[in-house]
Amino acid sequence: MIISFPNMGHCWPAFKTLFNTLDESIEVVLPDPTNREAIKIGVKYSPEFVCFPFKATLGDFVSAIKKGADTLVMAIDCGPCRFGFYASVQERILHDMGYKHVRVIPLDQADLLELKWVKTLFEIAPPKNNKLALYSNAIKAVISFVKKAKLLNDIQTAEGLFRAYERNQGATTDTVQKLLVSLDETKKLNELRKFKTVIKNTFNEIDVDKTRTPLRVGVSGEIHISLEPYVNLDIRRKLGEMGCEIHQSLSLYDWVVHKFHLNYHRKWLEHLSHPHVPMDIGGECVWVLGEYIDKARADFDGFIHQYPFTCMPEVTARTIITNKLKKKYNLPTIFFSFDEQSASEGFRTRLEAFVDLMHSRRNQEIKTKAEFIANGNKKIYPHYGSNFYNECAQLIKTQ
């Protein structure tokens, strides 16, 4: 069996580990990084009205099949939006395209406590003679997957912070690439336990200018668009290089923990958004609204909401922010809707204009608010972020 899965930013080391540890005879191939060609293929063979992530992931699947993959894994949910149909429709399209030998295995992640995903893992690696060995491999695979997902989350946190301080543009991007390769090569659980220190030490090698006071920006939106840099036109890198510190809690780990009902940060966001949307309507709608309110209360300089064109849940979130929340909270916000037509030049211009707006708003604040004037015309940001974020902030301060 040669297995593959679609691109979603930096998540690949976690998925690769999951399948490799499950059964050593499974070969994992990665699709090429999402590119224009993959999008062209995805757009050509997908229904015109379908969501953009469907098209992008279909293009990734074709790329993986061309590299030999015969089994493709696609996450599914129970709805309420179109995500529940991705796997079955994509399989039919691939068969119609002539790839009749290919199977698309749906990985049900609607509620991970229902353990439907365990059946899927055993479907991928069926028990042979030694059932005990399979169970022990499955447990090890899941632990390694969750550990790597957590470490990827830490890399994302550090990346959002360090890039705003780097003296040599590109140093953070290079560090992230180096860490991804190193994380992929780390197989043993005891080495994974120490990898958090590796992340901190590697980021600490970046030459930073600690005198800067970067703008604090919250980034949220639909998961595929938020995590895959090709489809979001690399918004995190561009924003970071414009001097913004990025806070994005959405990650693979954040999602998996949420689906195990253990994500208390998400429960807090649900509490904040409850008066506006009292139930999950798909996508990240509920949590985007919670993030918006949370960031506004934490005195952030701006908020970015990104989503695929035609995504119903995210358009609902946008409408609630624009029509209701903006009247209550003074948080500059910009919305980006992405599809196959998105082009980087107009996008960059809008992003630069937004950064200028945040700068002028902050300049106004530091000239008029007594506590900022008393602080030498410097904005004081409230304490915010995870323990790991604060450990990284400390590293920058003491460099």
- The beta strand positions in 145-291, using DSSP E, are 215-221, 244-247
Binding flag, residue 81, ligand SF4 (CB under 6 A):
yes
Binding flag, residue 313, ligand SF4 (CB under 6 A):
yes
Binding flag, residue 53, ligand SF4 (CB under 6 A):
yes
Annotate each residue in 220-259 with x if it binds ligand SF4 (CB under 6 A) or - if it does not, as one string: --x-------------------------------------
**Nearest-angstrom CA–CA distance, 60 and 48:** 18
Binding flag, residue 106, ligand SF4 (CB under 6 A):
no
- The Cα-based distances of 228 to 50, 76, 231 in angstroms read 18, 18, 6
Binding flag, residue 282, ligand SF4 (CB under 6 A):
yes
Cβ atoms of 1 and 70 closer than 8 Å: yes
Stretch that binds ligand SF4, among 108-116, 169-177, 260-268, 305-313 (CB under 6 A): 305-313
**Nearest-angstrom CA–CA distance, 45 and 62:** 11
**Nearest-angstrom CA–CA distance, 277 and 314:** 12
Residue 94 in tokens: 């691939």
- The Cα-based distances of 47 to 51, 90, 93, 105, 374 in angstroms read 9, 10, 10, 21, 59
Stretch that binds ligand SF4, among 164-172, 187-195, 268-276, 309-317 (CB under 6 A): 309-317
**Nearest-angstrom CA–CA distance, 394 and 80:** 42
Site residue total, ligand SF4 (CB under 6 A): 13
Binding flag, residue 42, ligand SF4 (CB under 6 A):
no
Binding flag, residue 82, ligand SF4 (CB under 6 A):
yes
Stretch that binds ligand SF4, among 161-169, 310-318, 361-369, 387-395 (CB under 6 A): 310-318
Binding flag, residue 39, ligand SF4 (CB under 6 A):
no
Binding flag, residue 138, ligand SF4 (CB under 6 A):
no
Cβ atoms of 37 and 59 closer than 8 Å: yes
Binding flag, residue 283, ligand SF4 (CB under 6 A):
yes
Nearest-10 Cα torsion for 167, 173, 175, 176: 150
Binding flag, residue 311, ligand SF4 (CB under 6 A):
yes
Stretch that binds ligand SF4, among 16-24, 77-85, 235-243, 351-359 (CB under 6 A): 77-85
Interaction site with ligand SF4 (CB under 6 A)? 51, 53, 81-83, 222, 282-283, 308, 311-314
